[in-house]
Amino acid sequence: MSAFIIVDTKIKDAEAYEEYKSLARPIVEKFGGAYRTRGGDIEILESDLWSPTRIVIVEFPDLESAKQFANSEEYAPVQAIRHANAECTLIIVDGM
The answer to whether position 45 is within a domain reads no
Please tell me the predicted confidence (pLDDT) of residue 96: 79
- Write the DSSP symbol of residue 71: T
Residue 33 lies in a domain: yes
pLDDT digits (tens, 9 = 90+) for 38-61: 998 999 999 999 999 999 999 999
H or E element in which residue 45 lies:
none
- Look at residue 46 and tell me if it is in a domain: no
Average pLDDT over residues 71-94: 97
- The domain in which residue 71 lies consists of 3-40+52-94
Q: If you average pLDDT over residues 28-44, what whole number do you get?
A: 95
Contact present, 94 and 7 (Cβ < 8 Å) = no
Residue 76 covered by a domain? yes
Q: Does residue 35 form part of some domain?
A: yes
Kindly report the pTM of this predicted structure.
0.92
Q: Tell me the mean pLDDT in the region 13-33.
A: 96
The reply to whether 17 falls in a domain is yes
Q: Give me the pLDDT at residue 19, please.
A: 95
The total number of structural domains in the chain stands at 1
